Amino acid sequence: MSEYIPSPREWVADQVELYEGSGGTDGLTLRDTGLPVIIVTNRGSKTGAIRKTPLMRAMDGSNYILVASQGGAPKNPRWYANLKAEPNVEIRDETQTHSMRVREVVDSVERKRLWDIAVAAYPPYQEYQDKTDRVIPVFIAETI
């Protein structure tokens, strides 16, 4: 069993603790937006440690769309490299957990379709894309 390393960002680590500690009944939304959040559990690509990353919930059927926006920061979040290296993840959506495999969506037509769903679920993603030069990566998580 690998070590779990909490996020160094306190508000993120606190949300994970509340969400997971309550079995998915508390801490389910992003701050005061009221919009739903999922928790992605994955492995660090260098440390092999367990990482837990809250992301907005955007769904395509029963698949989850993961958007590596990091608030429109110039660089991809670290979890981007982690998911590229180890695509098998667990996704907690409230009280349910799912073993899933992620892939980065590189086909432009597929990416556009999923991007539009993600922006409908969480409109600030578009503002984040508009303020950064990088193309924000989009993953799709599919049931194994």
Footprint of ligand F42 on this chain (CB under 6 A)? 7-9, 12, 15, 30, 37, 44-47, 49, 51, 53-56, 67-70, 77-79, 81-82
Identify which of residues 31 and 96 has a Cβ nearer to ligand F42 in the complex. Answer: 31
Closest separation in Å from C-beta 56 to ligand F42: 4
- Separation of alpha carbons 64 and 120, rounded Å: 14
Closest separation in Å from C-beta 132 to ligand F42: 11
Identify which of residues 24 and 77 has a Cβ nearer to ligand F42 in the complex. Answer: 77
β-partners of residue 38 are 55
Q: List Cβ neighbours of 49 (8 Å cut-off, separation of 6 or more).
A: 2, 3, 4, 5, 43
Closest separation in Å from C-beta 57 to ligand F42: 9
In our burial notation (b when 16+ CB lie closer than 10 A, e otherwise), range 22-59 reads eebeebbebeeeebbbbbbbbbbbeeeebbbbbbbbbe
- Separation of alpha carbons 143 and 25, rounded Å: 23
Closest separation in Å from C-beta 112 to ligand F42: 18
